[in-house]
A and B are shown apart, each in its own frame.
Chain A
């Protein structure tokens, strides 16, 4: 959707592939578009580091970013994944100081970004973007809380199912490029645990796994095998983000 004054972009590569941007009313979207910069996210790149400055707010389109809790010794565990349903850099507009988490690109792809100052200014306009970002924040909180309880109470296999489902939802494809080491890092477990769980899922015909590529073959059965955490996160996310189109200024009363 190229606009005058903005470099034409491939239709495949529209900011509207991000659901938050897509949900903006046309006027808000047009206002924002010239400020959005297309920015490719490379696998493993740190969008922000623990305690570091956040220079931009990112809206992934077909990339996935993991928010990781980092220990002093470098061990990490994923606390949430962000894809085309969300934004990375919540601290920018929530007024929070630095956090002990880092954001790392888990699946390479495209994102659009807004400079920190512009993001803050947009947020403070009390328009549709603010409403959407706040709702997304609520969905993110739900995901974090569910991840915490899932880590505590569910088996690695269940967690792996949840993680695969959350990932492919954000990719619109059933294939992931991902090593077992990386998955182990995400889930905060030993590699052997991931190997064993992935082996079981493969033997059952739910996934196919080879040389760092995972294909989900049977989504329905993967959902059955996952713990309820996947469904809870999905439901809350859909409720907050897919219902009804944003109308301004009905702030804070817009959710169903």
Chain B
């Protein structure tokens, strides 16, 4: 997996990025340092001065697939700005049934409760794609947060985008076919890891989508038979992105558009992701497939 998810080398960065990174490196001394290029979009969107103010407190860490960063009710010790790592927010009920309610990658920050004045995570945060992230001590984050209106603004904006993602997920789970949801989930993952290949077991996908393993197997087989993905022994390859977009529900494009900062100051890097603005299938996705949309139609509901 690490071969697939290793940080993408970048040849170029903006001058501000490079300077900020160099300064951070100098301050941090022998510690793992900030990269020369700011990979996380939220950090990249900060004005240079604000970024420089916080860079010394950022530490590059490698998040490992399957690690749990927080459990529900746990006090947050750190915030994370993922580079190419991917973290799922899971709500757990009845002790074992889970559902992914949010997916955080390079576009955001893990630690929204701190932004909102709470120290406690209401959800489980599970590393779903191993990779690098910038980590900051929670107290340092709050310190910088108070001092930087730009950091506040970006954090609030991202929090709202995350809320949109959560509510979209709630509706999507209610109305859309498992196959559409799987397609959406694969696209969201690809956007965040910037790779068309990643590792994912059926069981893990079942937890994410809140369905049983057999349902995932069937939906994945359908996507594979349409030539959209290849799925073998936990390795997923996206073969036809446009086709996968057409197969997913509209929720994908709605949430993607909200996450995409319209500003590009400070060289916010969106390279590598094909943000196809074409409104594929014009909103009439798959016709009657889910027109009246009923709970349980995608999979048997579990008691």
Contact = CB atoms under 8 A, between A and B. Distances in A.
A153 B296 CA distance: 10
A247 to B, nearest CB: 12
A91 B99 CA distance: 25
A90 B168 contact: no
A149 B168 CA distance: 12
B118 A138 contact: yes
Interface string B242-259: 000000001000100010
Interface string A214-256: 0000000000000111000000100110000000000111110
Contact of A96 (B157, B166, B292, B293): B157
18 contacts: A72-B284, A73-B291, A76-B171, A77-B170, A79-B167, A99-B164, A100-B168, A135-B118, A141-B166, A144-B101, A148-B101, A149-B91, A153-B99, A154-B93, A188-B171, A188-B295, A229-B93, A255-B118
Interface stretch (B26-34, B50-58, B109-117, B223-231): B109-117
Interface in B113-147: 113-120, 122-123, 142, 145-146
A71 B293 contact: yes
A251 B146 contact: yes
Contact of A228 (B93, B99, B283): B93
Interface residues of B, number: 56
A149 B97 contact: yes
Interface in A37-63: none
A80 B163 CA distance: 11
Given A131-B117, A137-B163, A190-B294, 16 more contacts: A75-B175, A77-B171, A77-B174, A93-B156, A94-B159, A95-B157, A141-B166, A145-B91, A145-B101, A146-B91, A148-B101, A149-B91, A151-B295, A227-B94, A253-B117, A254-B117
B293 A75 contact: yes
B54 to A, nearest CB: 16
Interface of B: 89, 91-94, 97-99, 101-102, 112-120, 122-123, 142, 145-146, 153, 156-157, 159-164, 166-171, 173-175, 210, 250, 254, 258, 283-284, 291-295, 301-303
B157 A152 contact: no
B296 to A, nearest CB: 9
Contacts of A227: 93-94
B169 A148 contact: yes
A97 interface: yes
Contacts of B254: 100
Contact of B161 (A96, A228, A240, A253): A96
A81 interface: no
Interface in A84-112: 90-91, 93-97, 99-101
A18 interface: no
Most buried by A among B91, B169, B254: B91
A252 B292 CA distance: 43
Given A148-B166, A251-B146, A72 B117 contact: no
B167 A251 contact: no
A135 B116 contact: yes
B175 A95 contact: no
A189 interface: yes
Contact of B171 (A79, A90, A150, A190): A79
A95 to B, nearest CB: 5
Contacts of B161: 96
A142 interface: yes
A254 to B, nearest CB: 6
Contacts of A155: 301, 303
Given A100-B254, A141-B122, A151-B170, A94 B117 contact: no
Nearest to B296: A189
B160 A90 contact: yes
A47 B254 CA distance: 21
Contact of B163 (A90, A152, A190, A252): A90
A167 interface: no
A255 B117 contact: yes
A150 B170 CA distance: 9
Contacts of B123: 145
A252 B146 contact: yes
B229 to A, nearest CB: 23
B174 A151 contact: yes
A134 interface: yes
Interface in A110-150: 131, 134-135, 137-138, 140-142, 144-150
